[in-house]
């Protein structure tokens, strides 16, 4: 089912989290917060929307990290019903695509619910004070098509770093629904 994210509720604080990667390494919101802010990406392995943008997403994550942003990728799907998203497959997916941000397992789905995650991918961009400034899409390119790409996420997060505010006009992200228990 294709879903779109709601509009950005500017200034909403980033919910706290303490999650682990598939190998058990723990990460919290505060540990991952960068000097410029934090990007939280809800994603999974099996979603065709994530698969279609993964190379661009990995490149954008590296750009944001180089510009002082922390990044957390979180998988909130019920992997018991969707085994392609199981932790061992998450680790392989992250390695295959060169994901430089921790790919975290939201085992009980509390973090996805706290953030109000709707779909995969779903982007939450926070300023250095932890206030929400971006709730849009990765870019304007179609799935798998980087031609004529407008990097909406990069532009928005650059504005956040420079002005502490995200753009007023944001195009909702769209993708597969989070697979809730």
* Apex 19 CA angle, 16 and 25, nearest 5: 135
pLDDT given at position 162: 96
pLDDT given at position 178: 96
42 vs 150, residue with greater confidence: 42
Stated length of the chain:
181
pLDDT given at position 7: 81
pLDDT given at position 151: 84
- pLDDT confidence bin for 52, thresholds 50/70/90: very high
My answer on whether omega of the bond before 121 falls inside 30° of 0, hence cis, is: yes
Closest residue by Cα to residue 121 from 175, 178, 61, 40: 175
**158 membership: H or E segment, kind and range:** helix 152-163
68: left (phi over 0), alpha (psi -120 to 50) or beta: left
**Superfamily (CATH) of domain 2-177:** Glutaredoxin (3.40.30.10)
pLDDT at 144 > cutoff 70: no
pLDDT at 146 > cutoff 70: no
Q: Where are the domains of the chain?
A: 2-177
Query: How many angstroms separate the CA atoms of 68 and 18, rounded?
Result: 21
Q: Taking the model in full, what pTM does it have?
A: 0.95
Kindly report the average pLDDT of the chain as a whole number.
Answer: 94
Q: Spell out the residues 6+ positions from residue 112 whose beta carbon is closer than 8 angstroms to its own.
A: 42, 74, 76, 106, 178
Query: How many angstroms separate the CA atoms of 121 and 153, rounded?
Result: 12
33, 39, 42, 46 alpha-carbon torsion, rounded to 10°: -110
Closest residue by Cα to residue 118 from 21, 20, 43, 168: 43
- CA distances (Å), origin 53, targets 39, 114, 133, 137, 178: 16, 25, 22, 11, 17
Query: How many angstroms separate the CA atoms of 121 and 105, rounded?
Result: 15
pLDDT tens for each residue of 67-109: 999 999 999 999 999 999 999 999 999 999 999 999 999 999 9
pLDDT tens for each residue of 152-165: 999 999 999 999 99
The tokens describing 109, both together, are: 């789905």
pLDDT given at position 145: 63
Name the percent of the chain lying above pLDDT 90: 86
């Amino acid at each position: 089912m294709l879903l779109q994210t709601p509009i950005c509720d500017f200034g909403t604080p980033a919910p706290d989290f303490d999650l682990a990667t598939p190998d058990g390494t723990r990460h919290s919101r505060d540990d991952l917060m960068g000097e410029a802010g934090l990007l939280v990406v809800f994603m999974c392995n099996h979603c065709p929307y994530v698969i279609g943008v993964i190379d661009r997403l990995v490149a954008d994550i590296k750009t944001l990290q180089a510009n002082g942003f922390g990044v957390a990728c979180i998988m909130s799907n019920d992997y018991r019903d969707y085994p392609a998203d199981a932790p061992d497959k998450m680790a392989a997916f992250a390695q295959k695509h060169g994901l430089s941000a921790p790919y975290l397992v939201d085992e009980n789905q509390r973090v996805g619910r706290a953030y109000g995650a709707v779909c995969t991918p779903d982007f939450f961009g926070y300023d250095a004070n932890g206030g929400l400034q971006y709730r849009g899409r990765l870019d304007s390119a179609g799935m798998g098509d980087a031609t004529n790409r407008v990097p909406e996420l990069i532009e928005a997060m650059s504005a956040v770093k420079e002005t502490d505010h995200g753009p007023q006009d944001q195009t909702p992200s769209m993708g597969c629904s989070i697979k809730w228990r």
